[in-house]
Chain A
């Protein structure tokens, strides 16, 4: 069987690619995509450990994650629309009202 380290490295790299996107992009839509990548990384991790432990919990959880991701996208798009309306664009760095 494939050792779990490989899966973990895969999941870590997918997660970090998503994170990289979040950190370097200003576009809210790209944010959403990047977040999807991060969730995928987490899902890989869950499934990998499901196989490692021989139980189904991880797989069930990844299902939940997928479902929640859908909800997240829905809200995310809503926020993006609000951004567009209030800050004339999808640039997240413009919305800085929640600061000191």
Chain B
């Protein structure tokens, strides 16, 4: 158990680096970078230790800090839950954070950026918050760190605050995710009101109570004590709660319709994009659903919504990536699309598939972003792919690692993405054969495979192949070891991470090579894969069709190859030409991102701001008008009444007399004198 005593340190170390960078960063070499590297490195070591401990069959679920001590029912705690899921996520997050810190030495320090202490403080705070989020043992704590990563995202997107675009993008990112978080917050509060607890795991956790309540309800006997609202029965009310929490997930994981912030977030420094907007923070939404999968698995309707949103987003975002010219924009839409796959997997009951894809995606997308970062350094901070070309020979390390990442992203055998994406689609298909909604989601996911292959290789070919199309591309800026090292590490992972879970191979050969499956059949019963599979079948009524994994895998691989091949055919050669015009009016729609931004901006500026101005007019005119009107009436009547004061003594005397008479009469009448 000793390992777990150090669990809080995983989050506290980067927090310390935040404080150091903030307070003393400007007096330190490299703007405090080394503190961050050491801290995240330490987190990585500790995370690995946790993972080993979990592999050894231990789990940890303790509340460590009483946030509010208000008796059994009402207290709020911060605690640590370490089980296979969080152990895996800890390793991913601390590894990517560590590599991004190293990469930043090349991207930020070597490029002579100012404000580095602020940058490293932001990175440290982000790492601490994200790791805190992963460690969280209850929904309340998860929400707190969910918000904290939102702040860090805002800080880091707006890092270059002197320009106009980054602050605006940061604001948009925060606001759009805040909109999702609003629903999440309502959900958290509703969970407390309904279950009295927000713990993730254990006998007193809310998924367990929910399960008991539903079991009791279906048998007609009294279930566990839950409070429902609006007169809904527990099942319906739980669905409402789950959808509310899903609001936060959709916001953070950039799912349709709250995906619009992510492409804009590319205004931030590229290492930040790699860490926050590809590998970790955006994963927070998906991780949250996986974290409380015991709750979602009870609710088939919600699962279907999750799956459909995921499948739709996967295709929807991929099509937008087709026409982008900036390398980071392509990657941004690709990220949205890939998280769509994870949502699809979760909705389809593929818990392992989703977490598997989460892991491989974290590696290969961080790789791609860092590779793009290297390219951007080489291009003197140019991002337009049409200005590049021919970089293959100038930067071989970047090229080969980037290619590995691209193959993984496109889902080409045997790279990491192939295994995970294939499993996602397989899960969607086998469960979807009995459910038309899921099948639709699967179809969209499958179509997105082709699109993914196309845009990925369009990007690769345009960037690295052909002839240099600009002066900078002919003479690119060199990159140092601190750039190459993270690329190589991640490149290796992009190649091999898929072997962790070769489910189709396991199925065909009977070999136990689906290590991740075994990993998740974990020691903690409440969050174990077996529990989830049981729930999915019993509660959600998902039935898996009997189907060989080979054919679907072949189909998706063929589609990916076709997409990639088409891209290579269209864009190869020394002087590739733009083919987007062939899309006709569809191009305009795609380039305008389906006008999603327009309507959201209209909602914010056209509608809300206009309502606010109308309210202001109303407030100043009517409400304050009444107040000022009261004042004016008083003044006016005062100026009239004072005319009694004529200055003539006789009039005063007459008034005095009349007053005395009136007083006497009143007193006499009421006092009964007469």
A contacts, CB < 8 Å to B: 19, 22-26, 31, 92-93, 95-100
Pull 13 A–B residue pairs with CB atoms less than 8 Å apart, ordered by A.
Answer: A19-B653, A22-B650, A23-B650, A23-B657, A25-B650, A92-B650, A93-B648, A96-B646, A96-B647, A96-B648, A99-B648, A100-B642, A100-B643
B649 touches A92 (CB 8 A): yes
Q: How far is the CA of A31 from the CA of B650 in the complex (A)?
A: 10
A95 touches B650 (CB 8 A): no
A62 CB to closest chain B CB (Å) equals: 21
> Does B654 have its Cβ within 8 Å of any Cβ on chain A?
yes
When distances are taken between beta carbons in the complex, the residues of chain B under 8 Å from A97 are 647
A26 touches B647 (CB 8 A): no
**Cβ-defined partner of B653 (8 Å) among A23, A95, A100:** A23
> Does B509 have its Cβ within 8 Å of any Cβ on chain A?
no
Q: How far is the CA of A92 from the CA of B653 in the complex (A)?
A: 12
B653 touches A99 (CB 8 A): no
B646 touches A99 (CB 8 A): yes
B645 CB to closest chain A CB (Å) equals: 5
Of listed B642, B643, B646, residue having the most chain A CB within 10 A: B646
When distances are taken between beta carbons in the complex, the residues of chain A under 8 Å from B642 are 100
Per-residue contact bits, chain B 28-69, to A (CB 8 Å; 1 contact, 0 not): 000000000000000000000000000000000000000000
B558 CB to closest chain A CB (Å) equals: 99
Q: How far is the CA of A23 from the CA of B642 in the complex (A)?
A: 21
B657 touches A26 (CB 8 A): no
Per-residue contact bits, chain B 573-589, to A (CB 8 Å; 1 contact, 0 not): 00000000000000000
- Of chain B, the residue at the smallest CB distance from A26 is B650
Q: How far is the CA of A20 from the CA of B657 in the complex (A)?
A: 10
- B626-674 with Cβ < 8 A to chain A: 642-643, 645-650, 653-654, 657
When distances are taken between beta carbons in the complex, the residues of chain A under 8 Å from B657 are 19, 23
Interface size, B (range): 10 to 19
B493 CB to closest chain A CB (Å) equals: 91
A100 touches B648 (CB 8 A): no
Of listed B648, B654, B657, residue having the most chain A CB within 10 A: B648
**Cβ-defined partner of A93 (8 Å) among B643, B645, B650, B654:** B650
A76 CB to closest chain B CB (Å) equals: 12
**Cβ-defined partner of A100 (8 Å) among B645, B649, B650, B654:** B645
**Which 9 A/B pairs are nearest by Cβ-Cβ distance?**
A99-B647, A96-B647, A100-B642, A100-B645, A93-B648, A92-B649, A98-B647, A22-B653, A99-B645
Of listed B643, B649, B654, residue having the most chain A CB within 10 A: B649
When distances are taken between beta carbons in the complex, the residues of chain A under 8 Å from B645 are 99-100
- Of chain A, the residue at the smallest CB distance from B657 is A19
- Of chain B, the residue at the smallest CB distance from A34 is B653
Q: How far is the CA of A31 from the CA of B643 in the complex (A)?
A: 24
When distances are taken between beta carbons in the complex, the residues of chain A under 8 Å from B647 are 95-100
Q: How far is the CA of A25 from the CA of B649 in the complex (A)?
A: 11
Q: How far is the CA of A99 from the CA of B643 in the complex (A)?
A: 8
Q: How far is the CA of A25 from the CA of B648 in the complex (A)?
A: 12
- Of chain A, the residue at the smallest CB distance from B646 is A99
Q: How far is the CA of A96 from the CA of B654 in the complex (A)?
A: 16
Q: How far is the CA of A97 from the CA of B645 in the complex (A)?
A: 11
Per-residue contact bits, chain B 530-560, to A (CB 8 Å; 1 contact, 0 not): 0000000000000000000000000000000
B673 CB to closest chain A CB (Å) equals: 14
A11 CB to closest chain B CB (Å) equals: 15
When distances are taken between beta carbons in the complex, the residues of chain B under 8 Å from A99 are 645-648
B643 touches A92 (CB 8 A): no
- B455-490 with Cβ < 8 A to chain A: none
B648 touches A23 (CB 8 A): no
- Of chain A, the residue at the smallest CB distance from B660 is A19
Q: How far is the CA of A22 from the CA of B643 in the complex (A)?
A: 22
When distances are taken between beta carbons in the complex, the residues of chain A under 8 Å from B648 are 92-93, 96, 99
When distances are taken between beta carbons in the complex, the residues of chain A under 8 Å from B650 are 22-26, 92-93
- Knowing that A98-B647, A100-B642, A100-B647 are A-B contacts, what are 5 other residue pairs whose CB atoms are under 8 Å apart, sorted by A's residue number? A22-B650, A23-B654, A23-B657, A99-B647, A100-B643
When distances are taken between beta carbons in the complex, the residues of chain B under 8 Å from A98 are 647
Q: How far is the CA of A19 from the CA of B655 in the complex (A)?
A: 12
B573 CB to closest chain A CB (Å) equals: 97
Q: How far is the CA of A98 from the CA of B652 in the complex (A)?
A: 12
When distances are taken between beta carbons in the complex, the residues of chain A under 8 Å from B646 are 96, 99
Q: How far is the CA of A99 from the CA of B649 in the complex (A)?
A: 10
Q: How far is the CA of A54 from the CA of B657 in the complex (A)?
A: 31
A26 CB to closest chain B CB (Å) equals: 7
Q: How far is the CA of A23 from the CA of B661 in the complex (A)?
A: 14
When distances are taken between beta carbons in the complex, the residues of chain A under 8 Å from B653 are 19, 22-23
Q: How far is the CA of A82 from the CA of B648 in the complex (A)?
A: 16
B639 CB to closest chain A CB (Å) equals: 8
When distances are taken between beta carbons in the complex, the residues of chain B under 8 Å from A22 are 650, 653
Q: How far is the CA of A98 from the CA of B646 in the complex (A)?
A: 8
A67 CB to closest chain B CB (Å) equals: 24
- Of chain A, the residue at the smallest CB distance from B639 is A100
B655 CB to closest chain A CB (Å) equals: 10
B476 CB to closest chain A CB (Å) equals: 88
Q: How far is the CA of A96 from the CA of B651 in the complex (A)?
A: 11
- Of chain B, the residue at the smallest CB distance from A22 is B653
- Of chain A, the residue at the smallest CB distance from B649 is A92
When distances are taken between beta carbons in the complex, the residues of chain A under 8 Å from B643 are 100
Q: How far is the CA of A97 from the CA of B649 in the complex (A)?
A: 11
When distances are taken between beta carbons in the complex, the residues of chain B under 8 Å from A96 are 646-648
- Of chain B, the residue at the smallest CB distance from A20 is B657
Q: How far is the CA of A34 from the CA of B649 in the complex (A)?
A: 14
Q: How far is the CA of A26 from the CA of B133 in the complex (A)?
A: 93
A97 CB to closest chain B CB (Å) equals: 6
B649 CB to closest chain A CB (Å) equals: 5
Of listed B642, B643, B646, B647, residue having the most chain A CB within 10 A: B647
A1 CB to closest chain B CB (Å) equals: 24
Q: How far is the CA of A23 from the CA of B657 in the complex (A)?
A: 9
Q: How far is the CA of A25 from the CA of B643 in the complex (A)?
A: 22
Q: How far is the CA of A31 from the CA of B648 in the complex (A)?
A: 13
B665 CB to closest chain A CB (Å) equals: 15
